[in-house]
Structure 1
Amino acid sequence: MEDQLKIALIQSDLIWENPEANRNMFSEKIESISEILDIIVLPEMFTSGFTMNAKTLAEPMNGPTVNWMKTVAAKRHVALMGSIVISEDNNYYNRLLFVEPSGQIFYYDKRHTFTLVGENETYTAGTAKLIIQYKGWKLRPLICYDLRFPVWSRITEDYDVIFYVANWPKPRVSAWDTLLKARAIENMSYCIGVNRVGVDGVNSEYSGHSAAYDVLGNNMTNIEANKEAIEIVTLEKHHINAYRNKLKFLDDRDAFNLI
């Protein structure tokens, strides 16, 4: 078990619907990091932008992006996280992948598809939670629109870190800021959100605001809006344990089941 996790948040523009170019771009960004890391977090649909063109862009689980993630993870001895468009069993998924240095893969399919732009008409919604045990930490990965649904995010398995990878538009970025902080406070966990910047192929604009919050809702990062950036944060297990043991707010949480 490790008391610390060192995590890189990569806030980046994305090249519209061009997986190879995006993989090359992220390879360069990752190569530029000299620190030894435990996890690297990329945005939602990091090979394409938030596309509904799944028929053209979807890859299988043994496709080029998954293989690229395995290669990067093994080379850098780091876990790599981000979502891509996956085709499986005649369905398309907005699937978050967590690839360990060993090549082991965990995945989470976005539960709350964004009906405002018809994501629900293209992508099959996931139904299962994912808790990843990694280096003695319990990690809960989620995707973008999931952030608006606190019941789905609510801590029931005593996870240590909740992640959101996103293409969250600039006009509603105040909600992103507020809800990331709220998820950290209400769950007494670290909360990390990685959002893209730039303008996509359907003229949606993104301002980033990627951030990491501690269990009290303090922002641990200083990432400039509207700019590409790589920010490295160090999470400490004793920070979680100290405040959970002192304040004991989670002892008073409601018990419930999702059907």
Structure 2
Amino acid sequence: MSQKLNTAFIQANLHWEDPEANRSLFSEEINKLSDSVDLIVLPEMFTTGFSMNAEKLAEPTEAETLKWLKEKAKSKDAAITGSVIITENGNYYNRLFFVFPDGSYKLYDKRHTFTLAKEDETYTAGKERLIVEYKDWKICPLVCYDLRFPVWARNTVDYDLLIYVANWPEKRVKAWDALLKARAIENMCYCIGLNRTGEDGDGYIYNGHSAAYDVLGDELTELNREDEFTAEISLDKESLYETRKKLKFLQDRDKFNLEL
């Protein structure tokens, strides 16, 4: 059993609707990472920013960005995750990729499309949650607005790490801070939230506040959270399991069926 998961997350000011520029930006940052990194986390729609211009920007699953993700995962011998705009069978998806070092990958389509920005009118919502098994860790990757819906994230399968990739605006960042911490505590897991910085083409401001929390809701990152940064942190499964064994809160969780 792998007790440590060395995780890097990259908080960046995205180039608006410019996939090539964003891939170049993240290539530069990924190349700087240490050789000990196991998992690299990128933001929501990391090639474009949070755009509703899907007709112009969407690419098929097996296209340039997935090829790029596979190359980066192989070169760093690390898994990599983030979401992009995808077209498939006449629909558009805000699709998260989780790419393994060997080039294989898993998919998650954002379940909760952001109605306030009319994301639901452009993108088709996903219907299945993804649990990834990687280096003996169980990981649940979700996307931005999913953070507001605790039932979707409820830890019914004893996952170890919950990840949110996002474009979460400054005006609602207090909710981001509070809910990330809450998700860690209620699910007795590590929780990482990766946001972007800067201003997008629609005039929305993002001030980061990317962070990692442990099972008790203590923040593991001590950063100037509104600037662009790349952080590496080591997550410890032994500590997580010791706390779960001591407190046993997950054993008292409610049982329920989720209707979509």
Q: TM-score range by the shorter chain?
A: over 0.9
Give the gaps of 5 or more residues in structure 1. none
**Match for residue 66 of structure 2?**
66
Does the Cα contact within 8 Å between 1:198 and 1:226 map onto a contact in 2?
no
Please tell me whether residue 54 in structure 1 is matched to residue 32 in structure 2.
Answer: no
CA contact (8 A) 2:58 2:85 kept: yes
How many residues matched?
259
Q: CA deviation at 1:55?
A: 0.5
1:127 equivalent in structure 2: 127
**Partner amino acid for 1:223?**
L
When normalised by structure 1's length, the TM-score is 0.99
How far apart, CA to CA, are the structure 1 residues paired with 2:257 and 2:155?
A: 12
Residues in 1 aligned to 2:48 and 2:137: alpha-carbon distance in whole angstroms: 30
Percent identity of equivalent pairs: 58
The 3-state SS of whatever aligns with 1:85 is strand
Relative to the length of structure 2, the TM-score reads 0.98
SS of residue matched to 1:219 = coil
Q: Do residues 175 (structure 1) and 175 (structure 2) align?
A: yes
The 5 A counterparts of 1:1-259 are: 1-259=1-259
State the Cα distance separating 1:113 from its structure 2 match.
0.2
Distance 1:226 1:151 in 2: 29
**Cα distance in 2, alignment partners of residues 139 and 148 from structure 1:** 19
1:226 deviates by 2.4
| Distance across 1 between alignment mates of 2:239 and 2:174 | 27
The structural deviation recorded for 1:253 is 0.6
Structure 2: runs of 5 or more not aligned: none
2:92 is paired with a residue whose SS is: strand
Q: Is the 2:44–2:165 Cα contact (8 Å) retained in structure 1?
A: yes
1: CA distance between counterparts of 2:3 and 2:255? 29
Post-superposition CA distance 1:172-231 (Å, at most 9, x none): 000000000000000000000000000000000000000000000000002213210011
Deviation of 1:36 after TM superposition, in Å, equals 1.6
Paired amino acid for 2:162: I
- Contact 2:35–2:76, Cα closer than 8 Å, also in 1: no
Distance 1:70 1:35 in 2: 17
Deviation, structure 1 residue 19:
0.2
Amino acid paired to 2:14: L
Query: What is the rounded CA distance, in whole Å, between the counterparts of 1:132 and 1:161 in structure 2?
Result: 10
Taking the aligned partners of 1:66 and 1:78, their CA distance within structure 2 comes to: 15
Across the aligned residues of Structure 1 and Structure 2, the Cα RMSD in angstroms comes to 0.7
Q: How far has the Cα of 1:34 moved from its partner?
A: 2.7
Structure 1: distance between partners of 2:47 and 2:117: 19
Contact 1:13–1:198 (8 Å) recurs in 2: yes
| Separation in 2, partners of 1:249, 1:171 | 33
